[in-house]
Chains A and B, each alone.
Chain A
Amino acid sequence: MKKVFIISLLVSGLAMLSFTNYKNKPIEQSNQAAIQVPANVQVALDKSCTMCHNDASKNLKGKTKLSFDKLLSADGYPSPKKMAKFLEIADEVKNNSMPPKGFLEKNPDKALTETEKSAIIAWAQSEAKKLGAK
């Protein structure tokens, strides 16, 4: 009788332990996490891109086509769209299509240096790869 009592105590103790263990585990990320931006890339993006490409921007076309807020946050764009946007970022910077020419004529100080371009391209390509692009 005593044995049964001890065993059931042990079992319930174990159950409680595993329960607390379970509770202490971080809530599983639904499918994606926030994306970290290396400091040098962040500086370049803030200088030349985010004023048109974040949710608060007044540039409707710019922010509709690409929002860095939605690109980087866990609950922003769905993963396939994030992957597509990263590939497009690499393309646009590689082809010197972004920032737009007209904008650079008025704001020559916002032009990316070659180092900044390579940093953005490498970062965007590696994020696209993490999301499944080859």
Chain B
Amino acid sequence: MKKKILLSVAILLVLIQFLPIFKVENQSKNPGDLIQNNTVPADIVQILKTSCYDCHSNDTKTPWYGYIAPVKWLVNYDVQKGRKHVNFSNWNTLSSVEKIKVLDECADEILMDEMPMKIYTSMHQDALLNESQKEAFASWVEQYSEELYNQ
């Protein structure tokens, strides 16, 4: 009896790997990318890459467990939602005004510890931002917004 249950769970686990749901595609070429098209300071590039880009770009770095359902579904669901909200790979499709608005929201989210998401930082401790990183991000946002504003 116990053996049968274990076996069915195992089979089920194998089968769900093939369910075509919550798919996420990466894109290697992103001509409209924020970092590629703008002179972003190195410390900010570092923050964006390690704390934001996994969910807010087309260049998601997935850890091994992120390829295994059902964890895969959770991860991909969040990536889909993240990209839909803000996608730094498509940065240049936004107008200057839209960029300023998104930057303002980013700074606020980071300042209030809402981003990066807790479920993400629990698995990616290096994505946690310290106070000086948060401040650096906020002042970069202010400066970049001023630049965009005066264009």
Partner of A83, one of B97, B108, B112, B142: B97
Q: Any chain A CB within 8 A of the CB of B13? A: no
Partner of A78, one of B95, B101, B103, B142: B142
Partner of B97, one of A61, A65, A133: A133
Partner of A88, one of B104, B145, B149: B104
A64-B112, A80-B148, A83-B149 are known contacts. Are A134 and B97 too (CB-CB below 8 A)? yes
Q: How many A-B residue pairs have CB under 8 A?
A: 41
Interface size grouping (class) on chain A: 10 to 19
Q: Any chain B CB within 8 A of the CB of A87? A: yes
CA distance A84 to B100 in the complex (A): 6
Least distance between A51 CB and chain B CB atoms (Å): 19
Q: What are the interface flags for A86-102 relative to B under an 8 Å C-beta threshold, 1 for contact and 0 otherwise? A: 01100000000000000
Check if B108 sits within 8 Å of A65, measured CB to CB.
yes
Which residue of A is nearest B145, CB measured? A80
Contact residues, B104-142 vs A (CB, 8 A): 104-105, 108, 111-112, 142
Q: Any chain A CB within 8 A of the CB of B43? A: no
Residues on B with C-beta less than 8 A from A81 are 104, 142, 145
A78-B142, A83-B149 are known contacts. Are A132 and B97 too (CB-CB below 8 A)? yes
Residues on B with C-beta less than 8 A from A132 are 97, 149
Least distance between B6 CB and chain A CB atoms (Å): 44
CA distance A61 to B145 in the complex (A): 22
Least distance between A100 CB and chain B CB atoms (Å): 14
Check if A134 sits within 8 Å of B95, measured CB to CB.
yes
Interface residues in B, total, Cβ within 8 A: 15
CA distance A65 to B146 in the complex (A): 19
Which residue of B is nearest A91, CB measured? B101
Q: List B residues at the A interface (Cβ < 8 Å).
A: 95, 97, 100-101, 103-105, 108, 111-112, 142, 145-146, 148-149
A-B contact pairs, 12 of them (CB 8 A): A61-B112, A64-B112, A78-B145, A81-B145, A84-B100, A84-B105, A84-B145, A85-B104, A87-B97, A88-B101, A132-B149, A133-B97
